[in-house]
Amino acid sequence: MNINSTVLSGYQALNDVSYLLQGTQKALLVTDKNIEAIPAVQTLIRQLRGQITTLHLVNSVPPEPSQHDVAAIVAALPTRDIDMVIGVGGGSVLDVAKLLSVLCVAGAPTLEALLAGEKPQTRTASLLIPTTAGTGSEATPNAILAIPEKETKVGIISPVMLPDYVALAPELTTSMPAHIASSTGIDALCHLIECFTATVANPVSDNYALIGMKKLFASLETAVAEPGNLQARLDMLWASYYGGAAIAHAGTHLVHAMSYPLGGKYHIPHGVANAILLAPCMRFVRPAAVAKFAQAYDLLPDADASLDDEAKSHALVAWFAALVKRLRLPASLDELGIGPDHLPYLVEAALEVQRLMKNVPAPVSADDVRDVYLTLFPTLNQ
């Protein structure tokens, strides 16, 4: 899969967006009310209104959008005759923007058809501007929607949805609360380490994953602790982008498969669900990916080069667990009020995510999934 997006990056990179939008007459700006209120986004909106003849604003994207939310947004559009879709926000906003870039084309498949597996053939032009450093949605062919009736999430996937343009502007991420910077950062880490160890990993995805992990390991905690540190924030945006590019060329596996039910049924934020599952899932995967875990461990700023690969692989899992703790993210489902009586549902729902389960580098049984979930209930293990 080729990623042909033009990427602008750096402080005040948005000043160059006007060059990309030359000739655009009618645009759709997709965001949410919280993002819209960011001063740098307000400045961008004024800039766009001064350049684009007709700018329609959609600011109603919810945090974990369902197919009903997207259908409501489409129904409320004043027109689908547009030249450009501009998405400004976190992963949910960017996913919806990608879908709208397809749905606004005359003769495009309906949302129902896309959910049923029909592939789009074209889209209108698009520019994606992330305001969190986590999903890497601006570099993936995926749009993830909640399906409330099934209490899970599904992915609409097509390389057609990859954008024409991406802008990585660190000043848009400085207002993220620490817990959002932490959880979205862990989401990026999951993308990187899962794609790196997936059965479908390849030299291209490995290259993206290694570059992304090196940036993330060096900058995540600084970005959380120092929200005004523009270099750390930019490095995290690139780590997130590389995670998305790794997904585009490989795919995630166990963490994401097991986190989908937590988001779909219990509405746990995606990054938080991934944080809870990161160390337990990687502990299960480790024996099947010792050499790659050792490679990843060597990227840590304080890596001990004297360890052998086996020891490095164990040390990496321990570092993941310690990182989640240092970031003050939940490490168990007990903390979120979800009891072990929910285990049968969680196991069944996770195993249904075969699109990702097939990427796990080791055979996974229902008992294996249950055992990993069990570690998330420490009160049972006392």
Q: pLDDT for 44-85, tens place per residue?
A: 999 999 999 999 999 999 988 999 999 999 999 988 899 999
Cα separation, 249 vs 201, in Å, equals: 8
Question: In this predicted structure, which of 28-37, 72-81, 147-156 has the lowest mean pLDDT?
Answer: 147-156
pTM of the model: 0.95
- DSSP code string of 144-213: EEEEGGGTEEEEEE-GGGS-SEEEE-GGGTTTS-HHHHHHHHHHHHHHHHHHHHSTT--HHHHHHHHHHH
Phi/psi for 254 (5° steps) reads -65, -45
Give me the pLDDT at residue 382, please.
57
Whole-number average pLDDT of the chain: 94
Question: In this predicted structure, which of 1-5, 56-60, 114-118 has the lowest mean pLDDT?
Answer: 1-5
| Burial bucket for residue 272 (CB in 10 Å: 0-12, 13-18, 19+) | buried
Question: Are residues 339 and 377 in contact, defined by beta-carbon separation less than 8 angstroms?
Answer: yes
| Burial bucket for residue 86 (CB in 10 Å: 0-12, 13-18, 19+) | buried
Give me the pLDDT at residue 1, please.
67
Give me the pLDDT at residue 149, please.
86
Q: Is the pLDDT of residue 213 over 60?
A: yes
In terms of average pLDDT, the best of 91-100, 148-157, 263-272 is 91-100
Scanning 230-328, the segments in alpha helix (DSSP H) are 230-249, 254-266, 270-285, 290-297, 309-326
Q: pLDDT for 241-282, tens place per residue?
A: 999 999 999 999 999 999 999 988 888 999 999 999 999 999
Question: Are residues 20 and 6 in contact, defined by beta-carbon separation less than 8 angstroms?
Answer: yes
Cα separation, 43 vs 57, in Å, equals: 14
Residues 6 or more apart whose CB falls under 8 angstroms from that of 306 comprise none
